Amino acid sequence: MTHTRSLRVLCTLLTLALLVGCGILGGGKSDGGTGTTSTQKKPSPFARNKEATPQGKEVVMYALGLIGTDYRFGGKNPEAGLDCSGMVAYIFQQAAHYTISGNAANIAQKGRNVRPEAIRPGDLVFFNTLNRPRSHVGIYIGDLRFVHAPSTNGQVRIDSLENSYYATRFEEARSYF
């Protein structure tokens, strides 16, 4: 195993330990999905700690292992770099043996629509970031956060659904398990 791969595995294990401790992957106490914080005026419509399916847990763990992977438009594997839809397709194939392909809009045509209050880790979240529907996709990991491959900052990372940029561009969530 290369030094980079060893470091990535270690980071994944540490992140997993943190998520399990926080109850993000299920088993933790739910706040009823209100998502309220001291700085928030109205409750979030998103579920915080819904239990993930077994496939959803695998997808989340695999996604977390790709944090820091370089962004590349049209990228479909971590060695060459990933874009948002390439990241989702790669993770779903590797973690859940589920074939999904196309751009974010194509991926959104599959699966079933999920109400924000029913979203679970491993579900996909879609955004309008390019003035066209479903132009960006990420993987919901729980606690109002998602993993995605944005071109901004050039790496796979975690962001919050409550981030003003993503909150105003959120379109839908879809489940594939």
When mean pLDDT is compared over 20-29, 46-55, 131-140, the highest value belongs to: 131-140
Given its phi and psi angles, is residue 176 left (phi above 0), alpha (psi -120 to 50 degrees) or beta? Answer: alpha
- Confidence at residue 16, expressed as pLDDT on a 0 to 100 scale: 46
Q: What angle do CA 79, 109, 52 make, to 5 degrees?
A: 70
- Confidence at residue 126, expressed as pLDDT on a 0 to 100 scale: 98
- Confidence at residue 42, expressed as pLDDT on a 0 to 100 scale: 60
Q: How far is CA 63 from the centre of its chain?
A: 7
Distance between CA 161 and CA 177 in Å, rounded? 21
Which of 76, 69, 70 is closest to 12 using CA atoms?
A: 69
- Percent of the chain residues topping a pLDDT of 70: 74
Between residues 3 and 146, the one the model is more confident about? 146
**What residues act catalytically?**
84, 136, 148
- Where in the chain are the domains? 3-27+44-175
Q: How far is CA 87 from the centre of its chain?
A: 10
> What number of CA atoms fall less than 13 Å from residue 38's CA on the CB side?
0
Give the pLDDT confidence of 105-142 residue by residue, as tens digits: 999 999 999 999 999 999 999 999 999 999 999 999 99
Q: What is the CATH number of domain 3-27+44-175?
A: 3.90.1720.10
Measured between its terminal Cα atoms, the distance across the chain in Å is 32
- C-beta of residue 146 within 8 angstroms of C-beta of residue 156: no
- Confidence at residue 28, expressed as pLDDT on a 0 to 100 scale: 38
- Confidence at residue 50, expressed as pLDDT on a 0 to 100 scale: 77
Give the pLDDT confidence of 118-127 residue by residue, as tens digits: 999 999 999 9
- C-beta of residue 128 within 8 angstroms of C-beta of residue 48: no
Mean pLDDT of 57-77: 97
> What's the pLDDT band for 169 if we cut at 50, 70, 90?
very high
